[in-house]
Structures are given as structure tokens and as C-alpha cells.
Amino acid sequence: MNLRVVTLNGLPLLDLSRLEQGQPERDSFLDDLRRAARDVGFFYIAGHGIPDHQIERVLELSRRFFALPEADKLAIEMVNSPHFRGYTRAGLEITRGEADWREQLDIGAERPALARDPAAPPWTRLQGPNQWPDTLPELKQALLAWQTAVTDVAVRLLRAFAEALEQPDDIFEPIYADAPNQHIKLIRYPGRDQTGSGQGVGAHKDSGFLTLLLQDTQGGLEVESASGWIPAVPLASTFVVNIGELLELASNGYLKATVHRVVTPPSGAERLSVAFFLGARHDAEVPLLALPPALAAEAHGPESDPANPLFHQVGTNYLKGRLRSHPDVARRHYADLLDRPVG
């Protein structure tokens, strides 16, 4: 690892503004980015350009949402949405067969639902509007503005990843342009005295291109490494970034989507985070990049869990994950798919 790269518990801290500091610094950043993703799979990003006041506003509104009366949150419960949007109570999302002890609000791109067509692929049902709480009307404007801001950061990183892999910087644009999969999760992890479980969210990989995670001051995120679990301690004004399975597939395994988990906070504490997942359009196929020989020699294919196979068809891969994670939504809105493989 370049000695110029600061690390926290072994996780690199990169400054995105280096991309704009002249060609030598840009080239150095791209090399550091490739090494961070290849060697660790997780890193912090600073210099992203999102102002602190916008970060604090999103965290404040997240706290206010979770402080609403339960009835107000249940009015927009995810089980009401065939598009997997809305509020989920602690214990109702599943990771690797176990309940995650976090409550959350899922927000996606604000698009109209597609007309239901029995002949269309099942993943076409995923597009649709969000559910917003009537008792916190300012949340909608703030989160849609946040979605725009973090999408810009994620796309800049994605273009940088393309360059780091010695590809045209717009190599991924055909599969995300016009309708990328933009997914925000507001997440609150209650303390262990309220849950009795150590699993905030179970060990897993993310399915998209990139994840940008905003943390409050309470730790809990851990990254799997050869030497054990590494804590991704909170660092103000930064995002924790990890690559997802789309980049693992596209790079033929040169880049690895890294397993991570969240441990429940201690008794009397809580943890708040805001995750953003950038993915490709649902109708896209993940391309296989023609890596230069030196990189291709280190690409040994994506890892595949027999219980959780990867599909190059983006919508199929995403729907598979949603059905597995939210069985209540699956039973209500996708019962016709539950007796046959999604892919």
C-alpha cells in the first residue's frame, strides 16, 4: 500500500479531491484506489464535496424519523409496497436466515410503477414510488437531494474504478445511464438491552456497484479479513465505501465484494447510519471487462455461494436478494414466484 495512504485499523483513507489535482496526483489516486479495493475491499473516502451541513441535516432527520410514534412509521410499512420501499421494524429483515436487529426506512429512485404485465420479467415490478411519512414532510425533499448528491459521488468513484482497471472511464455508463438503481437506507440499531441479539445485520456482500455509508459516532460495522473482523470506526465527514458484486462480476473477480456485518450496539446505546447503494439499471446485463494482461492474470472469477448464486442479469439478481431479505413482502406481492427459482 502506498505510504501516502493513511489507514484506520487497516482500512485505507482516500481523498477523492486528488482526482482534480493534476495528472500525476490523479494517477497516484487511481493506483491507491485499485489497491484499496483489491487488497481490502473497504475504504474511507474524504474530499467528496458534500458539505457538512447537508450531512448533519440528513442525520438529524433520520433521528427524527425513528423518533416518530410507531403508528406513524407503520403507516408506511414496507409490506404495503411491491417495490420494497418503506419502513421495516427490527427483526423483519433477514440475512442468511437470521433476523437483523435494526429498524430502517428504504427509499429508491422516485419513479412511477410500470404497468403489470404477466409476460414481463418479474423484476419490472421493482420500479415504483416511495412511501413518505405524512408527519415528517421535510424528509422527502432532503432525502431526494441527498440521493442526487451521493449518486454524483458514487458515479465519480465508479468512473475512477474504470480508469483504475485501465478501461474507458465511461465503460459502465451504458448499464446505469438514465435509470440507475439508487437505494437509500436510513438505519437505526437499538442497543443490546432492547434486542438480546448481537446481529445488527448479518455477514453479507452488497449486490450493486458501490456502497457509500454515512455513520454517526457509534461503531459497529466490521469488515471480514484474513486475520479476522476489522472495525470500521466512525470518522466524521467521510463515507465508508465498499464494492459490490456487480464490480466483482464485471472484473471477473479481480475486485472482490467483501463480506461485512454490523454488531449490535451495547446496552443503553444506539447506532444510526445512512447507506446509499448505487446499482445498474434493472434491464442491464453486467459486462465482462477486457482487462489488460497483468490484471487479467490476477482475476480468477467471481466467488459464488451455491445458496446465493450470482446472475449477470441485474434485475434478476436484485429481485432475488429482495425476496430473500423481506419474506413478508415476498408473500404478499410475489407469491407467484415463491415456488420457482427467480433466475
**Quick one: what percent of the chain has pLDDT higher than 90?**
74
Indicate the DSSP class of residue 259: P
| The pLDDT of residue 3 | 41
| Whether the Cβ atoms of residue 207 and residue 172 lie closer than 8 Å to each other | no
173 is a domain residue? yes
Residue 105 CB-half CA count within 13 A: 28
- Residue 1's pLDDT band, with cuts at 50, 70 and 90, is very low
- The amino acid present at 324, given as its one-letter code, is R
| Whether the Cβ atoms of residue 132 and residue 142 lie closer than 8 Å to each other | no
1 is a domain residue? no
pLDDT at 63 over 70: yes
328 is a domain residue? yes
Number of domains, the chain: 1
| The pLDDT of residue 173 | 95
342 is a domain residue? no
| Whether the Cβ atoms of residue 220 and residue 314 lie closer than 8 Å to each other | no
pLDDT tens figures, 94-104 = 888 888 889 99
Positive or negative: CA dihedral 159, 310, 214, 229: negative
204 is a domain residue? yes
Neighbours of 335 (CB within 10 A): 9
Average pLDDT over residues 207-235: 94
Average pLDDT over residues 289-295: 95
| CA terminus-to-terminus distance, the chain | 39
pLDDT tens figures, 164-202 = 999 999 999 999 998 999 999 999 999 887 676 788 899
343 is a domain residue? no
Taking all residues of the chain, what is their mean pLDDT, rounded to a whole number? 91
Q: What are phi and psi of 42, to 5 degrees?
A: -135, 145
pLDDT tens figures, 299-321 = 988 875 545 555 678 898 889 88
Domain that includes residue 23, residue range: 6-337
d(CA 6, CA 3): 7
**pLDDT, greater one: 231 or 317:** 231
CATH number where 154 lies = 2.60.120.330
**Quick one: what percent of the chain has pLDDT higher than 70?**
94
Closest to 81 in 3D by CA, of 118, 140, 148, 132: 132
| The pLDDT of residue 340 | 67
**Which residues, 6 or more positions from 19, have their beta carbon under 8 angstroms from its beta carbon?**
26, 29, 156, 160
Neighbours of 59 (CB within 10 A): 18
pTM: 0.94
Report residue 182 as a C-alpha cell. 439508487
